[in-house]
Structure 1
């Protein structure tokens, strides 16, 4: 196998692994958006503090908006691959 084709295969494998991982994250994000969308208005929502096991009370509609933006960003990132 030539060096160029070997490099090409490695790039292709990394590219497909990256796509698979991004697809998995998109599916998870869709579940989060659906769950938040179907909550009653008076339900409490907590968000996890980064790099911690601490959760804080959050506004449901703001959290939903942030999650939708994250989902849109992930979808755009997948299209760019």
Structure 2
């Protein structure tokens, strides 16, 4: 096996791993968006502070919008690959 074919194989494996990770994140975002979309109006939503166990009350509409935007970004990244 030549060094070029090894490099190509490593690049291919790297792309495959990145695609798998993106697909996993897309699945997670779809679930979050679906869950937020199906909450009753009077339900409260909390967001976890990064790197902490502290949660803050959040606006459901803003959270839904932010998660939809994140889902769109992830889908675009996957499409661009």
1:15 alignment partner in structure 2:
15
1:76 alignment partner in structure 2:
76
RMSD across aligned positions (CA):
0.5
1:38 alignment partner in structure 2:
38
> Equivalent residue of 2:53, what SS?
coil
TM-score by length of 2: 0.98
TM-score by length of 1: 0.98
For 1:78 and 1:52, how far apart are their aligned partners in 2?
29
> Equivalent residue of 1:16, what SS?
helix
Structure 1, residues 6-30: CA drift from partner, whole Å, max 9, x if none? 0000000010000001000100100
Q: Structure 1 residue runs of 4+, over 4 Å off?
A: none
Q: Flag structure 2 segments of 5+ consecutive residues without an equivalent.
A: none
For 2:33 and 2:70, how far apart are their aligned partners in 1?
10
> Equivalent residue of 2:50, what SS?
coil
2:5 alignment partner in structure 1:
5
